Structure 1
Amino acid sequence: MRSLPARRLATTTAVLLAAGTVLATAGPALAHVTVQPGTAQQGGYTAVSFRVPDESDTASTTKVEVNFPTDHPVASVSTQPLPGWTATVEKSKLATPIKTDDGDSITDAVSKITWTADATGKIGPGQFQEFKVSLGPLPTDTDQLVFKALQTKDDGTVVRWIDEAKDGQPEPQHPTPVLKLTKAGAAASPAADNHQMTASQDSSKSAAASSASSDSTARTLGVVGIVVGVIGAALGVAGLRRKGASS
């Protein structure tokens, strides 16, 4: 039969092991490939960064491939030069051409961008890099763009960031980068309007109260000044009478 201290030691050990397991599995989940910022406006142009961390303890990242959605293509895509990296842009023919505002048709669009590092550009363990892209106009027929990505390490490992998150389910181990799209010219919510009105009313009330307080203070000081003046005059008259009586 185990003693009470032995049971406590066994329980504590089990708790520590469980906590270690949770931390071990949660660690890699913090090193996702993401789009920054995560939201943009439908129909507009924007600049985003694909943020790529290296979650390995020993291997460095040497190549990053980002696939662009062809079901919701973007007509104009350009990369920002990044020292130590070379960007290669691939285009694909579109099943349905994109109509521009000028009436022209775009028959192909960017389908993938591959960044390859030279000897100075690797993303080392515990580091991250941002790959900046300008794109637009953003589609208006969807609320998100999905960019499936592949991350290659110098030890031959390939991390596939292609798993799409689903409502009501745990986040996948390697979620795909997603850019959320919002409606253009979205009006402020009634709650926001009410909040602004309340803030304005509170500000007006505060200003009125401050003004009333200032007026009250001024009146009080005026009355005090009159009283002091009357007392001074009375003392002056009394002094003159005393002086006349003594002479």
Structure 2
Amino acid sequence: MNRSWRAATLTIGALAGAVAFVRPAAADVTVTPSAAIRGGPARVEFHVPEERPGAYTTKVELVAPEATPIAEIYPMSVDDWAPTITTRKLDQPVELIHGTTTTEVPASITWVRFGDAPSTPVQPAALAVSLGPMPQADRVAFTVVQTYSDGTVVRWSDSPDTGGSQAQHPAPVVTLIDPEPVADSGNSADGSGTGGNGPNGVRWSALLLGLVAALGIEGWTILRAVRGHLRPAAAVGSEGNHR
């Protein structure tokens, strides 16, 4: 691993950590990251607020979008929560992450809190899922049904497009974006430059796409700036190796 690649990895890793720990301050159900690569896999985390004094959330149901089905949705392990998955049948098959197809897709995931009542103040639930391939659409909206220990049920499903007025219980939305095209800058004859089709170019492409899926649109902007800053140094190092 050359110095330029090591520096890029360390720099982007630090940025990934910084962005990953940013949490929205709003009291609505939110999703982090708020963007994912269209047609690719993603990992997102839903944050469900606690808004009823004297009560706490006992169950959270995540309902997948029907109009833009997602072939695979898997709940990640979360302390104090036990998930179950329900499925539905499609008329037309959709593609799985590894290239095969299926007509049976997840309809919803339901997490039930187990164990003793949480200590106060109750922390918002942070429930993560891995999913994909993401649909060929501009965005996907999920419905979250939240049940409290006093029996209150809150359905987070309002469209964010409310004509300028604020939705009372907005649905969490993931914006879908295209991956950035990787240009061939021809830094060296063997393709070892960061912009070529050689090993470094492939590693750059994989790293950028993976981090965008993990960090969302905010990380995408940062990574483009970092890549542009590091490319000249990598090119100089490559030229030096050929002298």
Rg: which structure is higher?
1
Question: Is residue 2:132 matched to residue 1:114?
Answer: no
1:158 and 2:139 correspond: no
Structure 2 residue matching 1:30: 3-state secondary structure: coil
- Alpha-carbon offset, residue 88 of structure 1: 0.6
Matches of 1:143 and 1:121 in 2, distance apart? 40
Label 1:93 to 1:124 Cα distance change in 2 as closer, same or farther (>3 A): farther
Equivalent residue for 2:65, pick from 64, 69, 86: 69
C-alpha displacement of 1:122: 4.7
Q: In structure 2, do the counterparts of structure 1 residues 101 and 160 end up closer, same or farther at CA, with 3 Å as the change threshold?
A: closer
C-alpha displacement of 1:31: 1.2
What runs of 5+ residues in structure 1 fail to find an aligned partner? 1-28, 201-247
Task: In structure 2, list runs of 5 or more residues that go unmatched.
Answer: 1-24, 184-220, 230-243
| Cα distance in 1 between the residues matched to 2:162 and 2:99 | 39
Provide Cα deviations, 1:90-126, integer angstroms capped at 9, x if missing partner: 1100122114587643111011000000134758555
Report whether the alignment pairs 1:128 with 2:120. Answer: no
TM-score (norm. length: structure 2): 0.60
CA deviations 1:57-109 (Å, max 9, x no partner) are 22100000010012211112211111211101011001221145876431110
Paired AA for residue 146 in structure 1: A
2:178 to 174, 183, 206: 183
What corresponds to 2:144 in structure 1?
Answer: 149
Change in 2 beyond 3 A, CA 1:147/1:125: farther
| Matching residue of 2:34 | 38
Match of 1:220 in 2: none
Structure 1 residue 139, shift from structure 2 partner: 1.2
Give the partner amino acid of 1:53: P
* C-alpha distance in 1 between matches for 2:53 and 2:97: 49
Amino acid at match of 2:175: K
Give the match's secondary structure for 2:170.
coil
Matching residue of 2:48: 52
Equivalent residue number for residue 233 of structure 1: none
**Sequence identity percentage:** 37
Q: CA RMSD in A?
A: 2.8
In 1, distance between residues paired with 2:112 and 2:159? 25
Q: What is the CA–CA distance in structure 2 between the aligned matches of 1:150 and 1:102, rounded to whole Å?
A: 30
Distance 1:124 1:166, change over 3 A: farther
Q: In structure 2, how many angstroms separate the alpha carbons of the residues matched to 1:127 and 1:101? A: 33
TM-score, with normalisation over the residues of structure 1? 0.59
**Is the 8 Å Cα contact of residues 53 and 126 (structure 1) preserved in structure 2?**
no
Q: Distance in 1 between matches of 2:43 and 2:122?
A: 25
Runs of 4+ in 1 over 6 A off after TM superposition: none
Using the alignment, how far apart are the partners of 1:126 and 1:177 within structure 2?
21
Question: Is the contact between residue 59 and residue 110 of structure 2 (CA under 8 Å) also seen in structure 1?
Answer: yes
> Residue type of the partner of 2:66?
T
Query: C-alpha deviations, 1:122-156, integer Å up to 9, x for none?
Result: 5855521210100111112x111110111100000
- Return the structure number with greater helix share: 1
